[in-house]
Amino acid sequence: MKHKTGLLVLFLFLACSLAFAQQDTGPIQLPPPQTDIGQPLMKALSLRRSSRSFSEKPLSLQELSNLLWAAHGINRPGSGKLTAPSAMNWQEVDVYVALPEGLYLHEVKGHRLEPVVSKDLRRLTGRQSFVGRASVNLIYVVDFSRVSRGNREDTTVWSAAGVGFIAQNVYLYCASQGLNTVVRGLIDKRALSKAMNLGPEQVIILAQTVGYPE
């Protein structure tokens, strides 16, 4: 009898652990963005700057939602178009989010974070030491399988420009909300691409660190 109870307790423990583990690795639904907050545009422009000191304090889910919506969220639900322009509206730039708990892909249509790698990859997102400390690192990846026309030279320029618009949206959101940020090209792209399990058509363009000031 004792033996059976022990087994039952063990079974319940394993079932609960599995349920929690699944919850941990499941998609994270972001709350709707707050579109009526922040500084006026001219004030945000006057505050825009690169900063390289970050505290470890995490961003709330609401702040992550606002940040990602500002970056490239849908601002016209009828057409599904975004806050950042996109050549031919290919929407070929993906924003990956490296958090202490793992790497996520911002799924634009559902405005949620899809888990990609359940490891802390922040340190790998750049060659500067603050990247491993800041609570959020965004990685801008172009998926050339969504680019349907033009030669690679042209489309690479267009896609890189698309990343620039997204990065500037992030700069302005951060300026408006008192967050620090810096866009970064100093990345070991081969190592990061491998850690992110990217496919042959997916190319890392830039990364951007976001967090509270130290």
Ligand X SMILES: Cc1cc2nc3c(=O)[nH]c(=O)nc-3n(C[C@H](O)[C@H](O)[C@H](O)COP(=O)(O)O)c2cc1C
Kindly state whether residue 182 participates in binding ligand X, applying the rule CB under 6 A: yes
Residue with tokens 């680019």: 147
Q: Using CB under 6 A, which of 50, 60, 89, 118 touches ligand X?
A: 50
- Within 13 Å, how many C-alpha atoms sit on residue 7's CB side? 4
Binding residues for ligand X, total number by CB under 6 A: 10
Smaller CB separation from ligand X, 51 or 62:
51
Kindly state whether residue 52 participates in binding ligand X, applying the rule CB under 6 A: yes
Considering only the stretches 14-22, 48-56, 58-66, 75-83, report the one whose residues sit in contact with ligand X under the rule CB under 6 A: 48-56
Smaller CB separation from ligand X, 83 or 125:
125
Identify residue 111 by its one-letter amino acid code.
H
Q: Determine the Cα–Cα distance for residues 56 and 45; give it in Å rounded to an integer.
A: 26
Smaller CB separation from ligand X, 39 or 128:
128
Considering only the stretches 2-10, 47-55, 89-97, 131-139, report the one whose residues sit in contact with ligand X under the rule CB under 6 A: 47-55
Considering only the stretches 12-20, 22-30, 72-80, 184-192, report the one whose residues sit in contact with ligand X under the rule CB under 6 A: 184-192
Per-residue x/- marks for ligand X, 109-148, CB under 6 A? -------------------x--------------------
Positions touching ligand X (CB under 6 A) are: 49-50, 52, 128, 182-186, 206
